Every structure is written in structure tokens, then in C-alpha cells.
A and B are shown apart, each in its own frame.
Chain A
Amino acid sequence: MASEDVKILGGWPSPYVMRPRIALNIKSVNYEFLQEQFGSKSDLLLKSNPVYKKIPVMIHGEKPICESLIIVQYIDEVWDSGHSILPSDPYDRAVAKFWATYIDDKWFPGLRAISRAEGEDAKKEAAEEVIAGLVLLEDAFIKCSKGKSFFGGEKIGYLDIALGCFLASLTVTEKMGNIKLLDENKTPNLFKWAEKFSSDAAVKDVMPETGKLMDFAKVLIAKSKAS
């Protein structure tokens, strides 16, 4: 049976790990969440993802699937319970994939760059880039949502998952850097969307609490300064 024996190897802080968990929740598929110890890699991880040795990995039966967005597509293709995660129209599907690639290749690295930026000017410049990205995504939201609540329309879809998994990191970055990135005035639709996404049934139990994530981020920063 398709829903038997699904494991997700990952860690609670990782936005990438959130993605397949949300997808499985949408499909109402039960899974075992195997948390990696931070700082070390389990034998199971090394065996199931020998190429990258990274989380998340989904193990379905005996078969490993790697790379978060590839896993989400796999989940959508295997289970037709719940609702479709990717749009049904090939062009809409391609547009969703385009923005997801943009988020992973450009936008999220830009977000990470804020905390690494040294000096006020560099921080400001990095923040402006992230905001410019959000303005693009606001426009994408208007086009993709077609007046509904999510990028995917009435329900959470691929692009909601691709961006929404970074909301907790975004909030932590805002708080720690004392800056505003997701602005109600600049990107009103995204601002509203963020709330709806975070409180969605498929999301709320897997999204890390801001306080907990901030503590984790501080530990990471302290560790990297010590080494």
C-alpha cells in the first residue's frame, strides 16, 4: 500500500525538511520523523543520500528520495488523497517551478546574507535585496493566486510550500537584525498570505516556533564564532 512505511530524515529547524512534511500532511500520509542529531550524520542518512549527505531524505518502502522540492513532486505524484499540490495546467506548473527555483537560488541565499553582512551599510543593502525579491514574489502571488488565498489558489500548493517554509527564518532574521522585511505596506498580499499559510492545518505543527528557532540560530552563530 502506498501510505505504508514512510520516513522523513531531517531536523525540526530546517526549512527544507518542512517542505515534504507539509506535503505529506496535505495528503494525510502518516510518516515516521527521524531527527538527525545536529552536528553529526547518521548511518541511515549517509546510506540514503550518499551523494549530498543532506536532509531532508524521504524513505518510501526501501527507496530514498532526496532534495526537498523533488520529494514534494514525488509525494504529489504518488498520492492523490487530499488535494493536488502542483497546478494541473502545464504552464501554471512551470510558473510555480520557476518561482520555486528563484526562491532557492536567489531569494533565500539573499536572506541568509543579511545575518552574515558586516556593518550597517552591508546589512541594509542585503535587506533591500530581500525586499526587492519579496516585491517580485508579491507580483507572482497576484498572478498565481487569481484572487484566492494562496499561490496554489484555494488551497496550499507547491509555491506556497516553497516560500512558506522560510517564514520562520524570515521572522528570526527580522527580529535579530531589527529590520522589517515582510512589510504590510510594500507587499500587502504576501503579508496576509504569511498569516494564512502559517496557521494552515498542514503547516502549523511543523513550523518551528520563532523563539525556539531564534535560540537555535544564536547557538549556531556562537558555534561558528568559536571555531
Chain B
Amino acid sequence: MENKDSTVKLVGFWVSPFVQRVRWALKLKGIEYEYIEEDIFNRSHLLSELNPVHQKVPVLVHNGKPLPESFIILEYIDETWKHNPSLPQDPHERATARFWAKFAEEKLFGAAWIGLCSEDDEQEGAVKSSIEALEKIEEKLKGKNFFGGDRIGYVDIINGWISYMLPIWEEVASMKIYDPMKFPAVTSWISNFREHPVIKEEYLPSKDEMIVYFQWRRKVLKGTYPPMFSNLVKKI
């Protein structure tokens, strides 16, 4: 790279929950950035250059250097801008946070996505798996305001999609995973998350637009396991 460019750029797609995480992480640190919208269904050269291996969003560009993968970007942000840390300082607590983020991504996000894109037995199995995962998350959240305790952090940001996107998937795919009556700790967490002063002010895609988008995705993907989770599919 010719010049050290200390500006921060985020290449994203308006509805991507992965991009949303990075928005939240940057906002929580008060980092200014330039947002570049990329139509992932009509990719420009930009994504091939910045993320040649996967060609996916989000990509964070800092000092001219690109970084893909929301989990990795979140840790990079935390290590580069050290105020308001999102990961705990204690190594065991950090390991625990990383574990729960990975678990929730594989077992809840992954299964719920399959539920969105399937029907009948496949969907039933995916819903069952999602509920089992949510039960473990419920246990984890008991007696806490956020996953890490009193302060919002890494695991909350990773799981933030539950607070606004999961209900959309449930509606679009006619499935029930999150029942507020059965998950009081999750319900309380959703409220704490959404009401957090920084989260509240940040962009979210509109509900109507999300419904239209995910209805279309469900139609296109029904009966096929999306490649991103194909290695996570197990016999349900």
C-alpha cells in the first residue's frame, strides 16, 4: 500500500446481520467510518479485491488493509481501539466469551437459518435444534443483564441478531423458536440490548424490507442447504 490510510471503511450489505455486528462494534467505540454498500448479488471488483477467498461482507478496511469475517473484525477492533473493551480482560472469561459466541453462531444462528430455508421434516428438525440451543443460552443469561454481566460486550454484539432478525425469520418461515414465555432471561436480554443507548441509535434495516428480502431468500433457497452452513448440517 502506498499511503498509510488511517481512515476506517466498512464494506457491507444493508440487511446482513454480520455487517450489523461491525456497525455496533464501531459505534460502541465511537469510531468514525465510511460505509460502502455492496450489492452481494451483483458483486463489484471491490469484494474480489478485498476478500478474494470468500468474496463476502463485511470487510473492514483500516490503514489500507482489508479484514473479513465479523468475529475476526470484532476482535481486531477491540485490540486496536482499547477503550470500552468488548472482551473481558481475564483469560478464562475471554475463553468463555469466545466459546459462547461460537456456540450461538453454530447452533442457534446456523439452525435458525436452516429453518428459514426449509420446510416439513427438515424445518422441524432445525427448529428443535434451535430451541435446544436457545435453552442453553437462556441458562447462560439467568441473573444477568448482558452475557458478560452488567456491561454490553462481544457476545451480546454477536448475538444481537436475535433481538431484531430472528422474529422476522420466524414470521417468514412460519416457525416458532423464541417463545417469550419460555425464555424470560432471553426476553430481558433482548430488551436490555435494544434499549442500550448506543444500540438504540444505530441503523437497523426496516422490518418491512427485511420481510420482503427474507421471503425472497426462502423461496430461492428452500430445499437446498446454503453453502455457508453446509458443513454444519448434521442428521437431525
Instruction: Given the known inter-chain contacts A94-B72, A98-B67, A105-B231, please indicate yes or no for A73 contacting B136, CB distance below 8 A.
Output: no
Count A-side interface residues using an 8 Å CB cutoff: 26
Min CB distance, A49 to chain B, in Å?
Answer: 10
Whether the Cβ atoms of A90 and B80 lie closer than 8 Å is yes
- Whether A77 pairs with B91 at a CB distance below 8 angstroms is yes
Closest to B67 in A: A94
Nearest chain A residue, comparing its CB with the CB of B79: A90
> Which of the four size classes fits the interface of chain B?
20 to 34
CA distance A66 to B96 in the complex (A): 8
- CB-defined interface of A75-113 with B at 8 Å, one 1/0 digit per residue? 001100000000000110111011001100110010000
Give Cα A43 to B117, complex, Å: 37
Contact: A98 with B94, CB < 8 Å? no
Determine the distance from Cα of A136 to Cα of B199 in the docked complex, in whole angstroms: 38
Q: Is the CB of A65 within 8 A of B92?
A: yes
Cα-based distance from A153 to B67 in the complex (angstroms): 21
Q: Are B92 and A91 in contact (CB under 8 A)?
A: no
Pick out which of these stretches binds chain A: B6-14, B97-105, B180-188: B97-105
Taking the nearest CB of chain A, how far is it from the CB of B89, in angstroms? Answer: 10
Once A65-B92, A136-B53 are accepted as A-B contacts, the answer to whether A70 and B75 lie under 8 Å apart by CB is: no
Chain A residues, CB < 8 A from B95: 65, 70-71, 73-74
Residues of chain A with a CB closer than 8 A to B63's CB: 91
Assess whether B68 is interfacial by the CB under 8 Å rule. Answer: yes
B76 contacts A70, C-beta separation under 8 Å: no
Sample 8 A-B pairs with CB under 8 A, ordered by A number. A51-B103, A65-B92, A70-B98, A90-B76, A91-B65, A94-B73, A94-B76, A98-B68
